[in-house]
Amino acid sequence: MSRKADTCDTHAAKLPDYDEALQRVLTHAPTLRTECVDLDETLGRVLAGDVSSDRDQPPFNRSAMDGYAVRSGVFNAQSTEHVWPIVGGIAAGDAPVVTGDVERGVIRIATGAAVPEPFDAVIPIELATPDDDATPPTVRFNVEQVNAWLNIHRRGADAPRGATVLASGQFLTPACIGIAATVGVTDLKVVEQPRVTILTSGEEVRGPDTSSDDLPAHHIRNSNGPMLMALFKSLGAPLLRHMHIGDDPQETLAAAREALSTSHLVVTVGGASVGAADYLRSVWPKLGYDLVLEGARIQPGKPVFAAAPREQADENKLVIGLPGNPVSVLATAHLFAWPIVRRMLCMSDADLPWRPITLAEPMRAKSARQLFRAVTIDERGRAKPITWHGSGDLMHLASAAGWVALPLQDGDVPAGEAVTFLPMVGGVR
């Protein structure tokens, strides 16, 4: 190991590990207000109050089949050769009323129709041989016995009246919107959407629309801004603004002040180290913010930082500073920005969806820093490392399914070893 690498690892060992660093940041996550929104506008929002059922779900004993409603006790007492008179019929939406002789007969019934008392089972039409020319029409069944409540979706089986059907903190999917409509709720109380400003920096960084002819060989296009904009939209935070600034202290100060004035969360990219031109790290104390995180024992992304208002400041805001290299940006956005957004939105499952996975191949780990590496998933569900060329190699993430967190140890983590896996937001499916 070179002396420079040894010095870097010694410094990293003094920094907090990932879990501690994340908790420091989450302590300062802003608290958002709530608002009432029309049901049609709630997709992707987070519920801020329980939704209860206004009546039993389903509200009646509902037939799960097209067929014939029978009384199980009476049916089981007869022989298989018994001929049953058809004493009525009920379609979906009809009131469950039968005027025929329910003591001796059965009724035709449609899927979704209300099953009237005293009937308590439905025999599918495929097991029936009707004779509609008889007077009255009759039916025989190719079944010897039925259980009570066969093919009936019983009243209240899904949710009794007053039961919570959507809990506060629920991310609202199309299914959730359908549930709210089912129980008659057309206005939902949701968490305010966080306002996020992304500040990218660098004199060498040009717009994505810059043509090759106008792009000097020593300049690059801005991938970080569009990448983070897409990530935050995927996280349910679409109220975004992207500003790019040069390496100038006054421009940085003005942009930082403007970002704070309109945002709950400011995400900076670059300027996170301790170089002479790293203004995005040093500007916040001038605006009444203290650094609450100044690096973490991770790779990529060691120089990540966070800033929060001083105690006397009456503000509900947070700054998270990400490194400049695009792989580091995406990794730290997953590790820090994602849980911040989930905490701000008061999501019921605020923790990130880490899960165990085994390695398909050995992967090199370090004791000085926890390594997070992009992987694909092989046909056996194992994590397979992607060849990469450092934190500037964004191209290798095109096929990534997520990240693995390697243990703090020196040397290879062997194939077959269990590690933890975090899926990529909007990743390969």
Residue 361 to residues 21, 196, 213, 406, Cα–Cα distance (Å): 29, 39, 42, 13
**Residue ending a domain, choose from 191, 211, 239:** 191
Which CATH number fits the domain that encloses residue 124?
2.170.190.11
Task: Based on the fold, state whether residues 204 and 230 are members of the same structural domain.
Answer: yes
Q: What percent of the chain has pLDDT over 90?
A: 74
pLDDT of res. 167: 96
pLDDT of res. 13: 62
Task: Based on the fold, state whether residues 68 and 114 are members of the same structural domain.
Answer: yes
Asked whether residue 428 is assigned to any structural domain, the reply reads: no
Strand partners, 221: 206
Asked whether residue 429 is assigned to any structural domain, the reply reads: no
103 Cβ contact list (under 8 Å, min separation 6): none
CA distance 1 to 417: 26
Q: Which domain holds residue 360?
A: 355-423
Per-residue pLDDT tens digits for 116-136: 999 999 999 999 999 999 988
Pull the structure tokens for residue 75: 């049916």
pLDDT of res. 208: 78
Q: Cis omega (within 30 of 0) on the bond before 300?
A: yes
Are 107 and 119 in contact, with CB atoms under 8 Å apart? yes
**H or E element: which one contains 175?**
helix 174-182
Residue 23 CB neighbour total at 10 angstroms: 12
Asked whether residue 83 is assigned to any structural domain, the reply reads: yes
Number of domains in the chain: 4
Task: Based on the fold, state whether residues 48 and 125 are members of the same structural domain.
Answer: no
pLDDT of res. 313: 67
Count the helix, strand and coil residues of the chain and give each as a percent rounded to the nearest 5.
25, 30, 45
**270/407: higher pLDDT:** 407
Asked whether residue 350 is assigned to any structural domain, the reply reads: no
Indicate if the pLDDT at residue 3 is higher than 50.
no
pLDDT of res. 429: 54
Per-residue pLDDT tens digits for 362-392: 999 999 999 999 999 999 999 999 987 667 6
Please tell me whether the overall predicted TM-score, pTM, comes out greater than 0.95 for this model: no
CA distance 420 to 404: 6
Q: How confident is the model at residue 314 (pLDDT cuts 50, 70, 90)?
A: low
Query: What burial class does residue 318 get, using C-beta atoms within 10 Å of its C-beta: 0-12 exposed, 13-18 middle, 19+ buried?
Result: buried
Mean pLDDT lowest for which of 70-74, 98-102, 185-189? 98-102
What DSSP string describes 43-86? TT-BB-S-EE-SS-BSSS-EESSSEEEE-HHHHHTS-TT--EEE
pLDDT of res. 428: 59
Which CATH number fits the domain that encloses residue 381?
2.40.340.10
Which CATH number fits the domain that encloses residue 180?
3.90.105.10
Indicate if the pLDDT at residue 298 is higher than 90.
yes
Mean pLDDT lowest for which of 155-169, 180-194, 316-330, 379-393? 379-393
CA distance 249 to 205: 17
Task: Based on the fold, state whether residues 267 and 300 are members of the same structural domain.
Answer: yes
pLDDT of res. 280: 87
Task: Based on the fold, state whether residues 210 and 328 are members of the same structural domain.
Answer: yes
Task: Based on the fold, state whether residues 167 and 264 are members of the same structural domain.
Answer: no
Query: Which whole number is the average pLDDT over 64-80?
Result: 94
C-alpha R_g of the chain: 31
Q: How confident is the model at residue 272 (pLDDT cuts 50, 70, 90)?
A: low
